[in-house]
Structure 1
């Protein structure tokens, strides 16, 4: 079955969300841990915010993760749909 036919099935979107949302959360947590582990462990969330979110940095921080999670979710859901 082609991708366009699979995406039209009513169960495609719920299955996509079941994959993409947890993947997005995991990628976000992993990224924060890699970028600011010492600041998170020290409890200095002002430095975490400055390094990752302030001055418009949140757009790039979340933008790449949203796009990557959507692509991953589409791939996995398409692969597992019958």
Structure 2
């Protein structure tokens, strides 16, 4: 593993999966007995909560909630709702 000019490293995908580290998670680098150790910081958020936080505000539409629900459920097909 190489450290880039900004001091960053890439944690291999198999280790990220094994330890449940996903994009946006925070880790600490600590020194233990002369060795650097990467520790997954527990944020208290679940994976779903992190996803919702990252996605919040990402969508844009002028449709109301009721219009979206009709569209998703297939109700009123051809009723003039424009997507």
Q: Normalising by the residue count of structure 1, what TM-score does the alignment of the two structures yield?
A: 0.27
- Please state which structure has a larger fraction of its residues in helix: 1
The structure whose Rg is larger is 2
Q: Normalising by the residue count of structure 2, what TM-score does the alignment of the two structures yield?
A: 0.27
